[in-house]
Amino acid sequence: MSDLPLLPAYDGACITNVVPALLHLGDDVPTWLPASALEADRVVLLVVDGLGWTQLDARRHLAPTLAALAGGPITTVAPSTTATALTSISTGLPPGEHGVMGYRIAVGAEVLNVLRWTTAQGDARRRIVPVELQPHPPFDGQRPPVVTRAEFAASGFTLAHLDQVRFTGYRTLGTLTAEVVRLARSGEPFAYAYYEGLDKVSHEYGLGAQYDEELRWIDHLVATVLEALPSGTALVVTADHGQVETGDDVVELPSDVLTHVAMQSGEGRFRWLHARSGRAAALLEAVEAQLGERAWVRTRDQAIAEGWYGPKVTDAAASRLGDVLLAAKGTVAFHDPDDTGPYVLVGRHGSLTEDEMLVPLLVGIAGA
């Protein structure tokens, strides 16, 4: 396994370029996307949260329908996390342009949890307006139908990355299937669907039996949708990120690092440290000495200069980053007592390993 981070292929086979290609924006014809998807009269784009390429490739026997589809791996974005990646998919932009720079990002002196759209003060939808933080219209402003969880309809993150789409909520895999098929049969040329179950399972249970069984159900979902879609419809399957099973490999930051830290943002495998006033250089020195073997350590300027967030990073986007970044290697995660959830995470993502960065781009044609 390479000791170098796998950077996003923003100029080619990357999730940022999937929607622009499917909507025929621009003159370039991507060689990394099976031609059948570009030639179809109707397209359904299914995004399966957490379906990494390396995990799928090792489990082809559990997912025969997915395994038989045309296509292969492409890269996600940095960080390899849902909030950033879904925004890149919907807008067709790298993170440095759309500005959703992670799962937990600095907005002024606060840390915004993007998926919950909350800070330590609670609901932030009025104070941090979603369409102002991320102002770019999704899907080139074409307002396609989007099928996602019904309970996501009014969330801040939905407003940030799916503003003005024609929202269709679902509650079960059966209703997801029914709504996708209904839209395609009604003549919609493009529909977007999102399913988050695999990511939930991997976070809570890791990559064991529960993950395998969830993958079986997703393969059944894909087979059922392909069978029911109108003949000639392209079903394109991709994902926002892969997974790493970290288990209890969680590192507490050493005291001689924390002494320089004012706050933390990001997440366990992509942790931004914000320095106390005047201590950025001392923080970098302490991090490199104490944690340099377990993470790719970068300053804000280094990560931007190396293209982690794309060829262009706006001032607003850059302001949402910390001073020193810990991008985890191996299976480690870095602890932040303010980064909490409903259960202890077993599986995680966010960093730039192959397991997290490579996702599938697969195409099946209904009736073929």
pLDDT in tens for each of the 368 residues of the chain?
568 999 999 999 999 999 999 999 887 889 999 999 999 999 999 999 999 999 999 999 999 999 999 999 999 999 999 999 999 999 999 999 999 999 999 999 999 999 999 999 999 999 999 999 999 999 999 999 999 999 999 999 999 999 999 999 999 999 999 999 999 999 999 999 999 999 999 999 999 999 999 999 999 999 999 999 999 999 999 999 999 999 999 999 999 999 999 999 999 999 999 999 999 999 999 999 999 999 999 999 999 999 999 999 999 999 999 999 999 999 999 999 999 888 899 999 999 999 999 999 999 999 97
**How many domains in the chain?**
2
In a domain? residue 6: no
Q: Which residues contact residue 48 at a Cβ distance below 8 angstroms, ignoring those fewer than 6 apart?
A: 195, 198, 218, 237, 238, 239
In a domain? residue 269: yes
Q: Are residues 52 and 19 in the same domain?
A: yes
How many helices and strands in the chain, by DSSP H and E?
A: 16, 19
Domain limits for position 37: 15-246+351-365
Q: Are residues 226 and 266 in the same domain?
A: no
Global pTM reads 0.97
Q: How far apart are CA 234 and CA 45, in angstroms?
A: 8
In a domain? residue 10: no
In a domain? residue 4: no
Q: Are residues 218 and 255 in the same domain?
A: no
Q: Are residues 287 and 326 in the same domain?
A: yes
Q: Are residues 216 and 265 in the same domain?
A: no
In a domain? residue 222: yes
Instruction: Check residue 224 and give left, alpha or beta (phi > 0: left; psi -120 to 50: alpha).
Output: alpha
Residue whose structure tokens are 């303010």: 338
Q: Are residues 183 and 307 in the same domain?
A: no
Q: How many residues does the chain have?
A: 368
In a domain? residue 238: yes
Q: Are residues 219 and 319 in the same domain?
A: no
CATH code assigned at 238: 3.40.720.10
Q: How far apart are CA 326 and CA 314, in angstroms?
A: 22
